[in-house]
Copies of this chain bind each other. A is one copy, B any other.
Amino acid sequence: MESKEISQAVISRLPRYFRYLGDLKDLGVERISSQELSRLMQVTASQIRQDFNNFGGFGQQGYGYNVEYLYQEIGKILGMDKTHHLIIVGAGNLGQALGNYMNFERRGFILKGIFDKNPDLYGKKVREIAVQPMEEIEQFVKENEIDIAVLTIPKNSAVQVAEILVANGIKAIWNFAHVDLNVPPNIQVENVHLSDSLMKLSYNLERANKENK
């Protein structure tokens, strides 16, 4: 039971810190102050210190932060020290693209299964993992310890499939379907609504065009 609830605004910034710290580490930088990091990342030093202090003091007065240590700690907070097993539901272009993306595996996200309802795809391999019929999914999820389901199926079937997954014990869904899922509050959902993102870009493009006239 966690006492202090940390805002999603803070959480959303952690992966970016993690990325910059990883780069600094690779560059051999040993320590960094909130001010230097602030210049690098274009956010205020105040915000950096506030963000880190949500999780306890990682720094040292007069010194700053040890890059390697901070990197490790943020990694732990994000669960990067653990292995996660995932399945991909929907073996279309996007599902395959995500499955083939090596970097996820490097971070401990291991692809365990991939499913589709299209028989033409059965047996097709995505990184050694053969596409299985959708019907197998319940059994598979029950028998294997799956942490995360990646939903890359059309919106009309997404809600129903999500319910099946939840009923069989899935605790987290990475949702690429363009629809809001209706799941119990203890199930974690992270939405990636690509067309929403593209529309936002379209709006900003439009607005910038208008301003420059």
Name A's B-contacting residues (CB within 8 A).
1-2, 8, 11-12, 14-16, 18-19, 77-80, 82, 84, 92-94, 96-98, 100-101, 103-104, 107, 109, 147-148, 171-172, 174, 178, 186, 188, 190, 192-212
- Chain B residues whose C-beta falls within 8 Å of the C-beta of A198 in the assembled complex: 104, 107, 109, 174, 190
Residue pair A103, B195 in contact (C-beta under 8 Å) = yes
Among A11, A188, A193, chain B packs the most CB atoms within 10 A around the CB of: A188
A-B contact pairs, 19 of them (CB 8 A): A1-B210, A2-B207, A2-B211, A8-B200, A15-B195, A15-B199, A16-B196, A79-B202, A79-B203, A79-B206, A82-B206, A84-B202, A93-B101, A101-B194, A107-B198, A148-B202, A171-B205, A174-B198, A188-B205
B residues near A200, Cβ cutoff 8 Å: 8, 11-12, 14-15, 78, 190
A97-B93, A197-B190, A208-B186 given; A78·B15 CB < 8 A? no
Residues on B with C-beta less than 8 A from A178 are: 19, 103
CB pair A104–B188 under 8 Å, yes or no, is no
- Apart from A14-B199, A15-B200, A80-B202, list 4 A-B contacts with CB within 8 A: A148-B202, A174-B201, A192-B192, A192-B194
- Do B104 and A100 touch across chains, with their CB atoms under 8 A apart? no
Contacts of A100 in B (CB 8 A): 93
Q: Cα distance A114–B87 when bound, in Å?
A: 30
> Which residues from chain B contact A199 at a C-beta distance below 8 Å?
14-15, 18, 78-80, 107
B209 touches A171 (CB 8 A): yes
Q: Write out the residue numbers on chain B whose beta carbons fall within 8 Å of the beta carbon of A8.
A: 200
Closest 8 interchain pairs by CB? A93-B97, A15-B196, A190-B201, A79-B202, A15-B199, A79-B206, A188-B204, A97-B97
Tell me how far the C-beta of A139 lies from the nearest C-beta in chain B, rounded to whole angstroms.
23
